[in-house]
Amino acid sequence: MKQPDSPNSPARRAVLTAGLAAGVMLINPFGALAAAPPGFDQWRDNFRARALAKGISEATWNRCMARVEPDMSVFKQMRNQPEFHEQIWQYINRRVSDWRIIHGREALKKNEALFARIERDFGVERGTLLALWGVESAYGDPLVQQNHMTPVFPSLAALAWNEPRRKAYWETELINAMKIVQRGWSTPQEMNGSWAGAMGHSQWMPEVWLNVGFDYDGDGKVSPFGRPDDALGSTAKYLVNRGKWHRGEHWGYEVRASGGASGSRTYAAWASAGVVRADGQPFPQPNASAQLWIPVAGGPAFLLGPNFNSVKSYNPSMNYALAICHLGDRCLGGPPFIQPFPGSERALTLAEVQEMQTRLTKAGFDTGGTDGRVGNDTMKAIKDFQIKAGLLPADGYGGLKVLARLRQGG
């Protein structure tokens, strides 16, 4: 669903500042007017003809593009995507965090009727959809919009103009964004997103918003912002249509498996071969099919059903899909993995993460807040602390070892 170069959490701080004069904002909704970089105006003039040929009206062009200036910081964001080489257990711990589990349960309680309706209409399990929402936008937390999102038209204009590898892609997405405005679904001012243009509760690129999104709350427009109905209903529809979701089946189960058999077979056949659920419970649908996956030798093993691959249609990473599926189970009361990953630590509690962030901040390492959420700011602060303290590897992972050193005073 997302632009694949964009990470699972939003990419950067907003570039608009609170000090912009109201008069300037009325002239140009994207920020203060500045001289365009050499070549941009000529590109925009040429692009205008291509946009109008694709059905964009003069009025829409003027609303979206006539005064836009390219957000040149997108190129720094592309070059400087944070590199954190996480082991799978670190990846899982960071995404299946105490914060996400606690707030996921609150979000489910608040939106119980919506999730029940989606399950009836599409058959998509509430846990999986809830976890996608939690990983993509922290359950629609407005602080994510405020602190990590920036106006989409300046970002897409910069990429369409001056990103040589995929100019056609970015131009298409920029035209898609204008079509959304032209349909009356949104305004240029409302369309804030990641540096790559992914927006809203489930981080839609304009193409997804335009072609996959639908009006699930019946207000006459399609929107990934505001009420989560359109975003979550459309995401469920996406998982069904593009991900081939199987109604009534779970994504899979942690199992105990001695061998490394491959191929797809029924749960009953796996059980006959000695592969059993790690919690000792029977497989509820013995005639459904699954494949065995052991991510790391000596770690937990899983039987994966078709709905695991449905989640992969949203993001092709195996680790991402496992994190989503496991977070969904945890939000619904499921336990941590029974077999630990080799060399792993338990995940920090919410209070421990907040303590770590507070101690890092006091030591001069800016975590961007002390709310118990571990994003790129906190990971960078941890990595910088690890380097200064001589903790190896300096991998940006905030676990028990880092917290222990901070408690010792660094």
> What pLDDT was estimated at residue 278?
97
Contacts of residue 292, Cβ cutoff 8 Å, sequence gap at least 6: 255, 257, 260, 261, 262, 270, 275, 301, 302, 303, 304
Average the pLDDT over 327-352 and give the result. Answer: 97
Average the pLDDT over 263-279 and give the result. Answer: 95
Whether residue 54 is contained in a domain is answered as yes
Domain limit, last residue, from 177, 208, 240: 240
Whether residue 251 is contained in a domain is answered as no
* β-bridge partners, 256: 276
pTM for this one? 0.87
3-state secondary structure of 140: coil
For residues 226 and 369, state if they share a domain: no
| 210-265 tens-digit pLDDT | 999 999 999 999 999 999 999 999 999 999 999 999 999 999 999 999 776 788 99
Task: Report the mean per-residue pLDDT for the chain.
Answer: 89
| 355-368 tens-digit pLDDT | 999 999 999 999 99
More confident residue, 12 or 321: 321
Q: Are 174 and 193 in contact (CB under 8 A)?
A: no
Say what angle helices 350-362 and 400-407 make with each other, to 10 degrees. Answer: 50
> What pLDDT was estimated at residue 7?
35
| 120-154 tens-digit pLDDT | 999 999 999 999 999 999 999 887 777 789 999 99
Whether residue 302 is contained in a domain is answered as no
> Residue 282's closest CA among 272, 291, 295, 292?
272
> What pLDDT was estimated at residue 81?
62
Q: Domains in the chain: how many in total?
A: 2
| 369-398 tens-digit pLDDT | 999 999 889 999 999 999 999 999 999 999
Question: Residue ranges of the alpha helices (H) in 3-125?
Answer: 22-27, 40-53, 58-64, 73-79, 88-95, 98-110, 112-122
Whether residue 400 is contained in a domain is answered as yes
The parent domain of residue 391 ranges over 350-407
For residues 357 and 233, state if they share a domain: no
> What pLDDT was estimated at residue 25?
27
- Could you tell me the pLDDT band of residue 205, with boundaries at 50, 70 and 90? very high
Task: Give the rounded percent of residues in the chain with a pLDDT score beyond 70.
Answer: 89
Question: Residue 198, CB half-sphere, CA atoms under 13 Å: how many?
Answer: 22
Domain limit, last residue, from 240, 266, 282: 240
Whether residue 190 is contained in a domain is answered as yes
pLDDT(8) > 50: no
Domain limit, last residue, from 212, 240, 268: 240
* CATH code, domain carrying 230: 1.10.8.350
Show the 3-state SS of 279-322. Answer: CCCCCCCCCCEEEEECCCCCCCEEEECHHHHHHHCCCCCHHHHH
**Rounded Cα gap, residues 198 and 359, in angstroms:** 33
Whether residue 235 is contained in a domain is answered as yes
**Rounded Cα gap, residues 179 and 329, in angstroms:** 38
Q: Are 293 and 304 in contact (CB under 8 A)?
A: yes
The token pair that represents 52 in the structure block = 């109008």
For residues 369 and 231, state if they share a domain: no
User: Torsions phi, psi of 378, nearest 5?
Assistant: -65, -40
| 55-108 tens-digit pLDDT | 999 999 999 999 999 999 999 888 766 556 789 999 999 999 999 999 999 999
Whether residue 71 is contained in a domain is answered as yes
For residues 371 and 222, state if they share a domain: no
| Rg of the chain (C-alpha set) | 23
Q: Among 15-24, 159-168, 262-271, whose mean pLDDT is lowest?
A: 15-24
The token pair that represents 39 in the structure block = 């070549």
Whether residue 11 is contained in a domain is answered as no
> What pLDDT was estimated at residue 33?
43
pLDDT(296) > 70: yes
pLDDT(6) > 90: no
